[in-house]
Structure 1
């Protein structure tokens, strides 16, 4: 397919997503099944265009003064890909499979309009109803913070120290231009241009042998700040597919007791194969069976309970750009209730002197600091571990991290703009 044909396909797909109200991933999968002639490179390029349009949905429509699928695609090329009107016009020449030529109005918008005067939620590309929440989190910086959350994320990897050293993996992945991650001592980063394909990391020998896992650096730091020690009893209470379980196991050096569980046993499905590939032998998976609590036998004995809490996912908008447009206030209320419930559950599992690591991939105060303060009001026997103490695991980078991240009395907030990571909140609570 030509670049122009890919652009036409992206316009059609945005129309399908709009009219059928289906997730972008589903629309892309169905399109690929119906267009077998499109090669992997074509599908990847079209997917990149679609995801970028979703990242810049509001601002692109504002730039073009038109909310149609075609207008949003054209506006995205200007805002996200940095193309000028002439370059965009060269793709829209009306030839076979290409979009129709630019109208005078479209060319004028691309050449002269900007986001000056756009409301915050438009300039930052987020739903209007979230403006108050983001203003509470970032104040006047909310547009810049949200714009960074609308950019494309790099590919971050975590080196599995049970099997490999970072310097060795760095050399073996040199052909992918892997670099040391800015903060994590076990992190690697592969930068991706706006139109670049994701490298097939799953086909790399280091991945197949369990030396690396795909994990955003913010998620790596969240696990590091929980500071599990070899020989401890650790519970990953919302383990899901096991990303943080694997990180905990590596920090425990295979020593101690690691229990991974989740209220939804379907989420645990990938964890068994991942643990096997990573060489983890001290992890026990406990899936729920009916109404029986799989960890009912554990009473106030855990050294650490890690909560990767169910949340709005606002911190992962770079990777899931269509999720923000499908998010509704009622869903946020449900997540806040679930967070309070899982914190209550964790409180009964921790021994005296033990810790709860409360983590969200959200930037919203109602899910972060407010949730921690409410928990402390109910449980005065717990206190926040000073954020500087949790960040000390970064050693020589701790001071720079403290200058970059947002610190509160409750913990750390990482954001794409400040730390180059996904948005993560981390609070470590110690029982007195």
Structure 2
């Protein structure tokens, strides 16, 4: 397919997503099935265009003063990909499979309109109902923070120190142009251009042998900030597919007791194979069965309970850009209730002097600092460990991290704009009474 034909296909897909209200991933899969002639490179490029339109869904329409699928694509090419009018005009030429030529109105919009006077929700490309929530945490910077959450994320990897080290994996993945991540001592980053396909990491020998895992650097840092130590009893209470479980296991160096569970047993399905591949031998996966509590035998013995709490996922918008447009206010209320419940579940598990690591991949204050304050008010036997103390686990990066991330009395907030990671909140709560 020509670049112009890819643009036409993207316009068609955006129109389908809007009119039929289908998730972007589903629409892209169905399009690929119906257009077998499109090669993998074509499908990747078209998917990149669609995802970028969803990233710039509001601002592109504002720029073009039109909310059609075509207008959103044109606006995105200017805002996200910095394409000039002449380059666009060369592809929008009306030839076979190409979009119709740019109209006078479209050229005028590209020449004279900007986001200078756009409301924050438009400039930052997020639902208007979230504006007051984001203003509480970011203030006048909310549009800039949201813009950073709209750009495509790199591919981050975590080196499994149970099997290898970063220098060795860097050499093995040199053909993918992997570089060390800025903060995590075990992280690697592969930068991706707008229309690049994700490299086939799962086919790499180091992945097959368990020496490397896909994990955003923010998630790696969240695990590091828990300060899990060899010999401790650690419970991963919301383990899901096991990303942080694997990171915790490496931090524990195979020593101590690591228990992984999740209230949704379906989420735990991949964890067994991942633990085996990573060479983790001290992990006990406990799958819920009926109404039986899989942790019924544990009472006030855990050194650390890690809560990768259910949340709105606002910190991961750059990886799942259509999620923000499908998010409704009721989802926040549900998640706040889920978070309070999982915090309560952790309380009886923690021994005196032990700690809870409360983690979300959200930037909303209601799910982060406000949730922690409510918990401590209800449970005075717990106190927040001052964030500056928890950052010491980052060794020589602690001072730089403290300057980059947002620090509050309740914990750390990482964002794409500040730390170059997904949005993550981390609070460490110690049992003092």
Same fold (TM over 0.5): yes
Q: TM-score, normalised by structure 2?
A: 0.99
Residue matched to 1:136: 136
Alpha-carbon distance in 1 for matches of 2:9, 2:317 = 23
Alpha-carbon distance in 2 for matches of 1:352, 1:133 = 35
Alpha-carbon distance in 2 for matches of 1:240, 1:20 = 31
Q: CA deviation at 1:195?
A: 2.3
Q: Secondary structure at the match of 1:255?
A: coil
Aligned length: 432
Residue matched to 2:350: 350
Residue matched to 2:297: 297
Residue matched to 1:11: 11
The reply on whether 1:188 has 2:184 as its aligned counterpart is no
* C-alpha contact (below 8 Å) 1:258/1:284 kept by paired residues: yes
Q: Which runs of 5+ in 1 are unaligned?
A: none
1:44-193 to 2 correspondence within 5 Å?
A: 44-193=44-193
Q: Secondary structure at the match of 1:22?
A: coil
Q: CA deviation at 1:175?
A: 1.1
1:323-338 to 2 correspondence within 5 Å?
A: 323-338=323-338
Q: CA deviation at 1:196?
A: 2.0
* C-alpha contact (below 8 Å) 1:84/1:111 kept by paired residues: no
Q: CA deviation at 1:115?
A: 0.5
Q: CA deviation at 1:194?
A: 1.9
Q: CA deviation at 1:286?
A: 0.9
The reply on whether 1:319 has 2:323 as its aligned counterpart is no
Q: Secondary structure at the match of 1:365?
A: coil
* C-alpha contact (below 8 Å) 1:187/1:217 kept by paired residues: yes
| Range that drifts further, 366-375 or 192-201 | 192-201
**Post-superposition CA distance 1:83-112 (Å, at most 9, x none):** 011111111111111111111111111122
Alpha-carbon distance in 2 for matches of 1:30, 1:239 = 32
Q: Secondary structure at the match of 1:397?
A: helix
The reply on whether 1:385 has 2:389 as its aligned counterpart is no
**Post-superposition CA distance 1:8-59 (Å, at most 9, x none):** 1111111111111111111111111111111111111111001000000000
* C-alpha contact (below 8 Å) 1:59/1:124 kept by paired residues: yes
Residue matched to 2:421: 421
Q: CA deviation at 1:206?
A: 1.0
Q: Secondary structure at the match of 2:99?
A: coil
* C-alpha contact (below 8 Å) 1:55/1:321 kept by paired residues: yes
**Post-superposition CA distance 1:133-156 (Å, at most 9, x none):** 000010001011011001111110
Alpha-carbon distance in 1 for matches of 2:122, 2:387 = 33
Residue matched to 2:408: 408
Q: CA deviation at 1:281?
A: 1.0
The reply on whether 1:360 has 2:360 as its aligned counterpart is yes
Residue matched to 1:252: 252
**Post-superposition CA distance 1:53-97 (Å, at most 9, x none):** 000000000000001111101100000011011111111111111
| Range that drifts further, 64-73 or 200-209 | 200-209
Q: Which runs of 5+ in 2 are unaligned?
A: none
Residue matched to 1:200: 200
**Post-superposition CA distance 1:350-374 (Å, at most 9, x none):** 0111110000000000000000000
Alpha-carbon distance in 2 for matches of 1:351, 1:96 = 70
Residue matched to 1:374: 374
**Post-superposition CA distance 1:165-205 (Å, at most 9, x none):** 10110111111111110000000111112222211111111
Alpha-carbon distance in 2 for matches of 1:29, 1:260 = 33
Residue matched to 2:216: 216
**Please, what is the CA RMSD of the aligned residues?**
0.7
* C-alpha contact (below 8 Å) 2:44/2:195 kept by paired residues: no
Q: Secondary structure at the match of 2:366?
A: helix
Q: TM-score, normalised by structure 1?
A: 0.99
Alpha-carbon distance in 2 for matches of 1:255, 1:290 = 31
Residue matched to 1:31: 31
Alpha-carbon distance in 2 for matches of 1:196, 1:32 = 17
Alpha-carbon distance in 2 for matches of 1:129, 1:79 = 23
Q: Secondary structure at the match of 1:348?
A: helix
Alpha-carbon distance in 2 for matches of 1:208, 1:108 = 53
The list of structure 1 runs, each at least 4 consecutive aligned residues, that deviate by more than 3 angstroms after superposition, is: none
* C-alpha contact (below 8 Å) 1:160/1:247 kept by paired residues: yes
Alpha-carbon distance in 2 for matches of 1:123, 1:291 = 47
* C-alpha contact (below 8 Å) 2:223/2:248 kept by paired residues: yes
**Post-superposition CA distance 1:360-419 (Å, at most 9, x none):** 000000000000000000110101111111111111110000000000000000000000
Q: Secondary structure at the match of 1:44?
A: helix
**Post-superposition CA distance 1:257-290 (Å, at most 9, x none):** 1111111111111111111111111111111111
